[in-house]
Chains A and B, each alone.
Chain A
Amino acid sequence: MAEAQAPLTKKDFKSDQEVRWCPGCGDYAILNSVQGIMASLGIPRHQICFVSGIGCSSRFPYYMNTYGFHSIHGRAPAIATGIKTANPELSVWMVTGDGDGLSIGGNHMAHILRRNVDLKILLFNNEIYGLTKGQYSPTSPVGLKTKSTPMGSVDRPLDPLAFALGCGATFVARTIDSHLKHMEKTLLAAAHHKGTAFVEIYQNCVIFNDSCFEGFAEKTVRDDQTIDLRPGEPMVFGKTLEKGIKIVGWEPKVVPAAEADVWKSDTHSPGPAFVMSQLHLDPGMPRPIGIVRDVEAPVFEAAVHEQLRAAKAKRGAGSIKDLIYTGETWTV
Chain B
Amino acid sequence: MSQSKNPGSELPLQQQEEVVIRFAGDSGDGMQITGNQFTHTSALLGNDLATFPDFPAEIRAPAGTRPGVSGFQVRFGSADIHTPGDQPDVLVAMNPAALVVNIRDLKTGGLVVVNTGQFGDSDLKKAALTTSPLKDGTLAGFRVIEIDINKRVTEALKGTTLSSKEVQRCKNFYTLGLMYWLYSRPLDTTMKWLDEKFAKRPELAEANKLAMQAGFNAGDIQELFQGRYEVQRCDDLPKGTYRNIMGNEAISIGLVVGAKLADLQIFLGSYPITPASGILEQLSTYKNHGVITFQAEDEIAAICSALGSSYAGCLGITSTSGPGMALKGEGMGLAVSIELPLVIVDIQRGGPSTGLPTKTEQADLLQAIFGRNSEAPIPVLAASSPADCFDVAIEAVRIATQYMTPVILLSDGYIANGAEPWRLPKLEDLKPFPKPFLKSVPEGGFLPYARDAYLARPWAKPGTPGLEHRVGGLEKAHLTGNINYEPENHEFMVRMRQNKVMGIRETIPTPNVFGDSTGEILIVGWGSTKGAITSAVEKLHAKGKKVSSLHLTHVWPLPKGLDKIFGCFRSILVPEMNLGQMARVLRSEYPEQNIISYPKVQGLPFRTSELVSKVESLLAK
Enumerate chain A interface residues (CB-CB to B < 8 A). 1-3, 15, 17, 44-47, 49, 51, 54, 61-62, 65-72, 75, 77-87, 89-90, 107-108, 110-111, 304, 307-308, 310-312, 314-318, 320-332
Contact = CB atoms under 8 A, between A and B. Distances in A.
Contact of A69 (B233, B244, B305, B311): B311
Given A75-B301, A108-B297, A332-B240, A82 B425 contact: no
A3 B440 CA distance: 12
Given A317-B288, A318-B289, A61 B472 contact: yes
Interface of B: 40, 43-44, 46, 189, 233-235, 237-244, 253, 256-257, 260-261, 265, 267, 269, 286-290, 292, 294, 296-298, 300-302, 304-314, 316, 330-331, 333-334, 338, 424-425, 427, 430, 440-441, 461-474, 482-483
A85 B292 contact: yes
A69 B307 CA distance: 11
Contact of B257 (A81, A82, A83, A324): A324
Given A49-B462, A67-B462, A325-B241, A86 B330 contact: no
A75 B287 contact: no
21 contacts: A45-B468, A46-B464, A62-B472, A66-B468, A69-B472, A71-B473, A72-B473, A81-B308, A82-B294, A82-B308, A82-B310, A304-B294, A307-B287, A320-B427, A323-B257, A324-B253, A324-B425, A330-B43, A330-B241, A331-B241, A332-B237
A25 B399 CA distance: 44
Contacts of B235: 332
B241 A69 contact: no
Nearest to B330: A72
Nearest to A111: B297
Contact of B465 (A46, A307, A323, A332): A46
Contacts of B468: 45-46, 65-68
Nearest to A45: B468
A128 to B, nearest CB: 22
Nearest to B237: A332
Contacts of A323: 253, 256-257, 286, 289
A105 to B, nearest CB: 9
Contacts of A326: 243
A79 B305 contact: yes
B308 A107 contact: no
A15 B289 CA distance: 39
B470 A61 contact: yes
B472 A330 contact: no
B260 A1 contact: no
Given A17-B482, A332-B235, A44 B471 contact: no
A332 B304 contact: no
Contacts, number: 215
A251 to B, nearest CB: 36
Contacts of A314: 288
A119 to B, nearest CB: 11
B307 A82 contact: yes
Contacts of B308: 51, 69, 71, 78-83, 86
Nearest to B300: A75
A111 B301 CA distance: 10
Nearest to B337: A72
A310 to B, nearest CB: 8
A71 B241 contact: no
B312 to A, nearest CB: 4
Given A47-B463, A311-B287, A318-B289, A78 B300 contact: yes
A45 B338 CA distance: 21
Contacts of A110: 297
Nearest to B445: A1
Contacts of B288: 308, 311-312, 314-318
A150 B227 CA distance: 85
Given A87-B461, A328-B43, 4 more contacts: A17-B482, A49-B312, A86-B265, A317-B288
A19 to B, nearest CB: 12
Contacts of A90: 312, 462-463
A310 B297 CA distance: 25
B259 to A, nearest CB: 10
Contacts of A44: 465
Contacts of B300: 75, 78, 108
- Of the candidates A80, A90, A311, the one having the most CB atoms from chain B within 10 angstroms of its own CB is A311
A82 B470 contact: no
B189 A81 contact: no
Give the top 8 A-B pairs by smallest Cβ distance, nearest first: A82-B308, A70-B472, A1-B466, A78-B304, A311-B287, A82-B305, A318-B289, A86-B312
B553 to A, nearest CB: 20
A328 B269 CA distance: 30
A259 B462 CA distance: 51
Contacts of B233: 332
